[in-house]
Structure 1
Amino acid sequence: MSRSTPVSFNIASIKAQGSLISVGLNADGSVQVPADYQQAGWYQQGRAPGEQGSAVILGHVDSYKGMGVFFYLKKVKPGDMIDVTRADGKTAHFKVTDVRMYLKSQFPDQLVFGARGGATLQVVTCGGQFDQATKSYESNVVVFSSLDSVT
């Protein structure tokens, strides 16, 4: 598929859906996440969902205000589908291949953001233990998926 901005997503197995905003990099070089804990963001400096290469969508697991957009992401299973609707009117359907958790100190940047062959989509949120001192989770949940079909 050619490049087209993703506008919304749906992960039916966990009843997660919503619009997508574009995110980039922070001043320190880290990847931005949406300020709103109920909003998901597409990493616009990478590939668009459906394009050859790795597309990445990020969002919060929760906040002190409640459940985030990806609160149930860790419950996604291989074989589940992730649908991404794009500005060109096409929907890219991705089949989940794996769900993993990584300590933030050991986050596999290249595996998540780098090309892995074909058109892939990774969805990322926080997970694992919450560190009260840093007010941050110690790990990230990553859902890996590959393009299955387009409508």
Structure 2
Amino acid sequence: MAAPPSSPTDDEPAPGRQGSSRSGAMMMCAAAGLLLVASLISGHNSADDASGRSGAPRPAAAAPRPAASSSSSSSHDTASDPSEDRPVGRHLPRSEPVRLRIPKIWVDAPFTDLYIGPTGQLEAPPAADTNLVGWHAKGASPGETGTAVIAGHVDTKTSAAVFANLGELEKGDVFYVDRADGSTATFQVDDAQTYEKSDFPSDRVYDDTPRAEARLITCAGDYDRSARDYTDNLVVFAHLVR
């Protein structure tokens, strides 16, 4: 994706070529993060961002649980209903994702593994590659029972990136995750919501579910120059259909 005629300053992201206008220009940023924070590091390629900003919202909650962990950490006694842990609907065995395809918004991107770093934030995908998505490798894999978290940058200092048009997805749209075992997980969008980072609903977004679901997450809203971050997160909710 070509860079705009003039590059922004270090504190200003580049407007996306295909991004829609909002208050003059749609400012796009890096992907949102996991439950320990309301957002991933913003899409500004700097050492300060990579180590996490002290001003980033940090909801007081644990990281997303893999589906299997709910039973091992449960406080239920042996008389608990075993059906509580049974998968619901379609699901696939665990397998690493290798490629994300979203035909409606022209996404065809490889995956990279993301982990919670020493600062308690999810590591961001490498900012130098604008066509790359990451997944929480310690969480559910896409297609597996539980909540798979997929994050991607939507801008850098000079150009739009992989999730520049994520806001165009609507209920009923489909996307595909090609997996290392040779299978393809097909997801259907249930909803897309924008949340203020200061009031991010971590439980709704990240808690594991009895069916195979996925979250596509990025930033949205206005760009706050003083915080060098965006005000909101965009979350696309989806479930496995085949």
Question: TM bucket by the smaller chain?
Answer: over 0.9
**What whole-Å deviation, never above 9, does each CA across 1:20-68 have from its counterpart, x for those lacking one?**
0000112221222212251210111110001000001001121211101
**What whole-Å deviation, never above 9, does each CA across 1:68-125 have from its counterpart, x for those lacking one?**
1100001111111110000000000000000001111222222222113300000001
Matches within 5 A, 1:1-151: 1-36=92-127, 38=130, 39-149=132-242
Letter paired with 1:16: V
Kept after mapping to 2: 8 A contact 1:79/1:96: yes
Unmatched tracts of structure 2, length 5 or more: 1-91
Q: Report sequence identity in percent.
A: 36
Letter paired with 1:89: G
* 3-state secondary structure, aligned to 2:241: strand
Kept after mapping to 1: 8 A contact 2:145/2:209: no
Partner of 2:84: none
Structure number with larger C-alpha Rg: 2
TM-score by length of 2: 0.60
TM-score by length of 1: 0.94
Using the alignment, how far apart are the partners of 1:110 and 1:8 within structure 2? 27
Letter paired with 1:6: P
Kept after mapping to 2: 8 A contact 1:9/1:82: yes
> After TM superposition, what 4+ stretches of structure 1 lie above 3 angstroms from structure 2?
none
Kept after mapping to 1: 8 A contact 2:190/2:239: yes
Letter paired with 1:25: I
The alignment yields a C-alpha RMSD, in angstroms, of 1.1
The answer to which structure has the higher strand fraction is: 1
Would you say how many aligned residue pairs link Structure 1 and Structure 2? 149
